[in-house]
Amino acid sequence: MPKNRLQSLFDTVWMNVRKIEQRYDGLVVGMAPYGMIQIWAVGDGRVTEVCCLHGAEVPVKMSEFRPRAIISQDEYVKSTIEDEPSVYENLKKNGLPDSLLFENYRKRFNYHIVPEIEMEDVDLTQIAVHYFNGEYDVILWERLKENLYSLQALYISWTAGKDQYEVRFVFDEQMILSAFEKVFGSDYPQRDDFDVVELYEKLYGEGKLPKGDFTIHIDNEGKPTGVSLKTEKGEMSVPTDKMQILVIKNDKLIYESSNYNESDWWGY
């Protein structure tokens, strides 16, 4: 693993929503098809990618993998997959996704989130973002411009006068990934071993790296009316039917889109 990256992350100090200093205090390891291994540093309100590794395919005998197993390797794999019915059905129907899908999850972009709420006396209180690359962040408002990866799900809370509002968004995967690539350009640099700004400036000139606004439009009743993504290269609107949406006012549900599925929500 990258020693300098690990050291930098574990030296990082931030303030959580309760204004208490926090640090990363653990590592999580995840695996994906095609030998992909991702490692994240975790702390209160943050999950941040450390690195992504790729392993070669290596045949392993069942006697080495599970020495005390009393079933065959095929039986073991089948029973393990069937423990997750939705995963099993998806594999039967669609097979494994293209390996590029997991690389697309990790593409980075330079943008910040802009909530536009058509209410008076709005006080934004919290935002939490779950990214496709597995990262998670509870963002303080002064850090809204630091977003990097494509959003998978988003939570926003605010007050308007005496009322408290919460909104959940779950974005359509294919739509949001293609929107970021279209608006930022397919030539946007994605090399892990280069500073993004430095690489782009070498290719296109200083100050040419596109910067984006991810704007969330919410009407005067607290209902989201759409999302737009804009850079100097272009703009794209995301209609509400391409999102799952849930709105809560003063702890009571006031709106739920017809396609909202609680199991798709990551649980913030």
Closest Cα to residue 40, out of 13, 1, 4? 1
146 pLDDT more than 60 = no
Pairwise CA distance, residues 176 & 184, whole Å? 12
pLDDT (average), residues 129-144: 77
Q: Residue 16: pLDDT band by 50, 70, 90 thresholds?
A: confident
* pLDDT tens digits for range 55-85: 888 888 888 888 888 898 889 888 888 888 8
Q: Where are the domains of the chain?
A: 3-54, 62-96, 105-265
Helix-strand-coil split of the chain, %, nearest 5: 25, 40, 35
Output DSSP code: residue 83.
T
pLDDT (average), residues 246-262: 95
Pairwise CA distance, residues 146 & 131, whole Å? 13
Q: What is the pLDDT of residue 199?
A: 57
* pLDDT tens digits for range 165-215: 999 999 998 888 888 888 888 767 665 544 555 555 665 555 566 778 999
Q: Model pTM?
A: 0.79
